[in-house]
Amino acid sequence: MAEFKCEKCGATAEGRCKPKKCTACGAADVMVKKEEAKSSGCGCSCGK
C-alpha cells in the first residue's frame, strides 16, 4: 500500500490508488504519493 499526502491541508491517506480528492478538506487533484525514507539497513531512523 502507498501513502498519499494532501498538498493543501497535509492530511494523509493510504491506498493502492491515488485518491481523486482529499478525504479531510475535499480538494480535488491535490494528493501526492509520499516517498519512503531511504535507509542503510541499520534498523534505526537515522536515514543513513
What one-character-per-residue DSSP string does 1-48 give? Answer: -EEEEETTT--EEEESS--SB-TTT--BS-EEEPPPPP--SSSSSS--
pLDDT of residue 42: 66
pLDDT of residue 12: 96
pLDDT tens digits along 4-46? 999 999 999 999 999 999 999 999 999 999 876 555 566 666 6
Per-residue pLDDT for 2 more than 80?
yes
pLDDT of residue 40: 56
pLDDT of residue 30: 96
